[in-house]
Amino acid sequence: MAKYSVYTEQEDNIIVNTIKKYPNNLAYAFEEAGQLINRSVRAVNQRYYTVLKKSYDIIGTGSSNGVCINIKNTPRTTESVVVESAIILFNKMTKAEKIQFISKVF
């Protein structure tokens, strides 16, 4: 049976920050993070998709095909990304922040 080593908070932060730095090229981000924490690209990939992705909102960048949210860089329409991102951010706001936001928007 394979023995798995536990990821430290510092390693997780390096993975997340590297992905935030290269949101439109996950393969490169996984490779870069792997080198920084001395783990394989496959290990970093698995850590991101099985653990970290659920905890962090990492928004991708745009291209001629649309805007990408890091779901293996699946193109989405710009409108759907803006709506999804707004909902995520709104849900993280405090009640006071939500009231202030709504008063400014509407």
CATH number for the domain harbouring residue 57 = 1.10.10
Contact by Cβ (8 Å): 47, 33: no
For residue 57, the enclosing domain spans 9-105
**Angle between helix 26-37 and helix 41-50 axes, rounded to 10 deg:** 110
Is residue 43 within 8 A of residue 36, CB to CB? The reply is: no
Per-residue pLDDT 10s for the chain (106 aa) are 455 679 999 999 999 999 888 877 888 999 999 999 999 999 999 999 888 887 876 655 555 555 555 555 555 666 777 787 778 888 888 999 989 888 887 7
Grouping H, G, I as helix, E, B as strand and the rest as coil, residue 6 is coil
Could you tell me if residue 1 is inside a domain? no
Number of structural domains found in the chain: 1
Task: Give the separation between CA 57 and CA 85, rounded to whole angstroms.
Answer: 9
4 belongs to a structural domain: no
Bridge partners, residue 63, by sequence: 66
Given this model, what pLDDT does residue 1 score?
46
Q: What span, in angstroms and rounded, lies between the C-alpha atoms of 30 and 19?
A: 7
Question: Does any domain span residue 2?
Answer: no
Does residue 27 belong to any structural domain of this protein?
yes
Output the six-digit token pair for 62: 């745009």
